[in-house]
Structure 1
Amino acid sequence: MSALILAPVVTIFVIVLSGMPILDTLLQHFMPATSDYITKYFLIFFVGALFGAVYQFTGAAESIARTMGCFCGNHFVAPMIMCITGLLTFGGVSGFVVFFVVYPIALQMFKRANLTRRLIPAAISAGCWTWSMTAPGSPSIQNTIAMKSLGTTATAAFLPSLIATAAEFLMIFVWLECRARKFTAQGKLFEDASLKMQLSAEELEERSSDNLPHPIIALIPIAAIILCFNALKLPVETSVTVGIILAVVLMFKKVANINSWIEVFNKGAADSGSAILNTAIVVGFGGVVEQTDGFHYLITHLQNLSISPLVFVAVTIAICAGVCGSASGGMGVAFAALTDTYKSMGVSLEAVHRIGAIAAGTLDTLPHQGAQITLLGICKLTHKEVYFDIAVTQILIPILTLFIFIPLVSLGM
């Protein structure tokens, strides 16, 4: 079911069980929380989706993916897919766009290496939703939410963040490669009759690389975004807009004509609308949950536990992300409800920023996460076939990353 249908239904369910008036609660809490999120973050979603559409339809994202794929040949294929998606998302390309662009490349790389398709969803989504989302300097919405809520910078807690990010990247890289070798040793290869959905000959046909932009040209707008956002300290909206302009200028001829360019931007604008509505309406659900006795009971008991303030930040944001099935939605709910609490704890707001970004990328990947469901549909695989590796790379390893980051901060790094 669409989140636009499911979120109001589940919200009403919570309202009824909590004994609150249905219409008044929807009007006074659900709608304000939804609209507030759209007001704060629409421009970020908008320019991000436009940039993603440009990279999709000019072939720039595919050019980068193919070039990086050539470096590894048939070795380290699953980790390389993770690197490709991570580079694209760290450069500002929407995760949903990356799914559609990278999947055909991943399919061909896995086919050449004779690796099981079971690892494709974990490899793609691990690049989108882990280190590239939480690393210092990332233009991700999670980094931006923390910046706007806490008044911190994109590179908050830079040194411990860098160490934790490197550790997270390495753990995912090693896990994907070890799992690929284990599947191969077990005889689970690309052709696997045990998978529920089989691919057609058309899906396995390799696409032509003709008329793709040069990979260096494709990387220039991404580099410009990172430079503007981190070195020049421009707002993320401005930084991504610079990237869009550069991409259009450098790759103008890769789209047939002006009318086709209008279609590209129409597609990006439509994607931004659906993306932010799907997230904002989940935040609206969170706005109602905040008003329930159960939520206050949970937060009170968490505050009364003998845990450090930094662990408290990690636990509360992870729980909100799990309830929402969304990292950005969970952060939106947690910071809306608990920012004053976090600030009153007397701990470094830079540490709170980075812990929040990492923790939001843990329980958000429970099986009900919409992004994972979308990706599994694209890959024609089921939760039963692939979810274990998704859970390890995007729940367990990010939690281990918190166990690396928090002690580093506690030691004063």
Structure 2
Amino acid sequence: MGLFGILLALALLIYLAYRGWSVLLLAPVAALLAAAVSGQPLLAHWTQTFMGAGAGFIGQFFPLFLLGAIFGKVMEDSGAVRAIAEILTERLGPRRAILAVVLAGAALTYGGVSLFVALFVLAPMAEALFSRADIPRRLMPPAIALGTFTFTMMAMPGTPAIQNAIPMPFFGTTPFAAPGLGIIASAVMLGFGLWWLARAERAARAQGERFSDLRPPAVAAPVLRERAMTTQEFDPAELEHGHRSPDLPPHMTGALPLVVVIVVNLAMSFFVLPMLDFSWLAEPGWGGIDISAVSGVWSVATALIAAILAAVALNRRRLPQLRETLDAGANASVLPIFAVASLVGFGAVVAALPAFDLVRDWVLGLGGGPLVSMAVATNILAALTGSASGGLTIALDALGATYLQRATEAGIDPQLLHRVAVISAGTLDSLPHSGAVVTLLSVCGVSARQSYRDIVMVAIVGALLALIVVIALGSLVGSF
């Protein structure tokens, strides 16, 4: 009966979230439903289990949500995002329209710009390029998805994406965990995705398919916002606030803050923090922790702070309403982190129910060792929630310590666990109910029927191939 309650609660959460209901309301209701069917104390699970897990997630990751959203808004309002996308599209031009869109998205997201900020800038630029090149509009979403949803979010070493930060406290790793495997996975995703899109473009031209200005009815803004809330650290509603500069900065000026993110992140992870003495963190007043539990978050946070300061200093003239821009960025971080924290709370309640032992035993009993087991569990949870960050956190909250113990016993490097977990979270999170997918289709002006097949190929199939390669290589030669 308890297992039925878990499945019923999941079904309710998925269906109503897809209909545009707020996860802030749905997650506690679904958690209490699962607890009620299992005969567990409802109020205790709400205030102790649900809120405790949600508060823990906020306490760990709110700095990254806050700084990431502020950085994205500063880059957008200063015109830096448009300048970076523009230079790549100009250099590659309509003849390489798909490659230009992919690389522009990759540069922005790997440099720390929020996915949703990038989407709303890339879509009109992709539309102009595809129109000039006479490439079907339906290929815009998969091209943007390849550059923003895939390798820069989960595989490239040092990416400041929240998904790459989540495993760090669990495994004591840094954003640069398993860099060699991450680069190989990135090459697999990018290579497969570009091959598929080139094939799709050739097929479309052979059939005489051309660019179309026709758009399907847009998804209602409130529904779009609710679906988008659990997928990234930026609330799309805040894009309208602040003051967007009509003037673009020089291309190098626009790109420099992205370089700052990468360089400072690298310096903090490998040079600054390892040189300092943090033995005092073991004292009870600081939580009795080791530096490995927070070093990754500190590295990314420092990198984002440095990048924000650089972006403001370089573009101060183009940010006449700086306070409004900063306020909008800060506000844009609040609802997303609470939405993901609510999913984490839901997962904590489910994991605390007696029936979850059946699920745990099934997952841990899968063949292939902890890497395969973790990949399957994370994929399933990301698929069910439509959120890479939510699914990943639920999986690691419930089973992270067990996976780490089993990996240690098997001689598996925690860095390999980190990379497998992040790539696993970014595969089946791109199902039709994903907020990122719904938002992407809406801003590109196409329907799921037109574009979703190609999105599946570049964002799911390519990622699954990369995941298989990483697990196989990691099992054979270890982490590198």
TM-score normalized by structure 2? 0.79
Aligned residue runs from structure 1 range 121-132, under 5 A? 121-132=141-152
Q: Per-residue deviation at 1:95?
A: 0.7
**Equivalents in 1 of 2:413, 2:81: separation in Å?**
37
**Equivalents in 2 of 1:131, 1:23: separation in Å?**
41
For 1:161, the equivalent position in structure 2 comes to: 182
Q: Per-residue deviation at 1:7?
A: 2.7
Deviates more, 1:131-140 or 1:3-12: 3-12
Contact 2:36/2:42, CA 8 A, preserved across alignment: yes
Deviates more, 1:172-181 or 1:43-52: 172-181
Contact 1:303/1:312, CA 8 A, preserved across alignment: yes
For 2:195, the equivalent position in structure 1 comes to: 174
**Equivalents in 2 of 1:167, 1:84: separation in Å?**
18
The list of structure 1 runs, each at least 4 consecutive aligned residues, that deviate by more than 4 angstroms after superposition, is: none
Is 1:37 paired with 2:73?
Answer: no
Q: Per-residue deviation at 1:210?
A: 6.4
Is 1:148 paired with 2:212?
Answer: no
Q: Per-residue deviation at 1:298?
A: 2.0
For 1:100, the equivalent position in structure 2 comes to: 120
Q: What is the one-letter code of the residue matched to 1:186?
A: Q
Q: What is the one-letter code of the residue matched to 1:327?
A: A
**Equivalents in 1 of 2:36, 2:101: separation in Å?**
45
**Equivalents in 2 of 1:394, 1:20: separation in Å?**
39
For 1:223, the equivalent position in structure 2 comes to: 259
Deviates more, 1:74-83 or 1:103-112: 74-83
For 1:288, the equivalent position in structure 2 comes to: 349
Q: Which runs of 5+ in 2 are unaligned?
A: 1-19, 219-244, 270-297
- Structure 2 vs 1, CA of residues 332 and 145 (structure 1 numbering), >3 Å: closer, same or farther? same
Contact 1:143/1:357, CA 8 A, preserved across alignment: yes
**Equivalents in 2 of 1:390, 1:29: separation in Å?**
37
Q: SS in structure 1 opposite 2:52?
A: helix
Q: How many residues are aligned here? A: 400
Aligned residue runs from structure 1 range 318-357, under 5 A? 318-345=379-406, 346=408, 347-357=412-422
The C-alpha deviation readout for 1:367-397, integer Å capped at 9, x for no partner, is 1112222222222322222211122212111
**Equivalents in 1 of 2:435, 2:471: separation in Å?**
29
CA RMSD of aligned residues (A): 2.0
- Structure 2 vs 1, CA of residues 6 and 183 (structure 1 numbering), >3 Å: closer, same or farther? farther
Q: Per-residue deviation at 1:294?
A: 4.7
The C-alpha deviation readout for 1:258-293, integer Å capped at 9, x for no partner, is xx1111111101111122122222222222222234
Contact 2:367/2:373, CA 8 A, preserved across alignment: no
For 1:394, the equivalent position in structure 2 comes to: 459
Aligned residue runs from structure 1 range 57-206, under 5 A? 57-134=77-154, 135-191=156-212, 196-197=216-217
For 2:230, the equivalent position in structure 1 comes to: none
**Equivalents in 2 of 1:280, 1:383: separation in Å?**
28
**Equivalents in 1 of 2:450, 2:33: separation in Å?**
32
- Structure 2 vs 1, CA of residues 289 and 382 (structure 1 numbering), >3 Å: closer, same or farther? farther
Q: Per-residue deviation at 1:163?
A: 1.5
Contact 2:188/2:462, CA 8 A, preserved across alignment: no
Is 1:249 paired with 2:310?
Answer: no
For 2:469, the equivalent position in structure 1 comes to: 404
**Equivalents in 2 of 1:149, 1:5: separation in Å?**
28
Q: SS in structure 2 opposite 1:156?
A: coil
Contact 1:325/1:364, CA 8 A, preserved across alignment: yes
**Equivalents in 2 of 1:357, 1:143: separation in Å?**
6
Q: What is the one-letter code of the residue matched to 1:60?
A: A
Q: SS in structure 1 opposite 2:66?
A: helix
Q: Per-residue deviation at 1:119?
A: 1.8
Contact 2:126/2:140, CA 8 A, preserved across alignment: yes
**Equivalents in 1 of 2:182, 2:324: separation in Å?**
40
Q: Per-residue deviation at 1:21?
A: 3.7
Q: What is the one-letter code of the residue matched to 1:406?
A: I
* Alignment match of 1:239 (pick from 290, 303, 306): 303
**Equivalents in 1 of 2:200, 2:30: separation in Å?**
37
Q: Per-residue deviation at 1:334?
A: 1.2
For 1:299, the equivalent position in structure 2 comes to: 360
**Equivalents in 2 of 1:280, 1:185: separation in Å?**
48
Q: What is the one-letter code of the residue matched to 2:299?
A: P
**Equivalents in 1 of 2:105, 2:384: separation in Å?**
26
- Structure 2 vs 1, CA of residues 5 and 123 (structure 1 numbering), >3 Å: closer, same or farther? farther
- Structure 2 vs 1, CA of residues 124 and 16 (structure 1 numbering), >3 Å: closer, same or farther? farther
Q: What is the one-letter code of the residue matched to 1:181?
A: R
Contact 1:286/1:324, CA 8 A, preserved across alignment: no
Q: SS in structure 1 opposite 2:113?
A: coil
Contact 2:93/2:100, CA 8 A, preserved across alignment: no
Q: What is the one-letter code of the residue matched to 1:121?
A: P
Contact 1:142/1:331, CA 8 A, preserved across alignment: yes
**Equivalents in 2 of 1:77, 1:399: separation in Å?**
26
**Equivalents in 1 of 2:78, 2:213: separation in Å?**
34
Q: Percent identity at matched positions?
A: 37
Q: Per-residue deviation at 1:122?
A: 1.9
- Structure 2 vs 1, CA of residues 80 and 3 (structure 1 numbering), >3 Å: closer, same or farther? farther
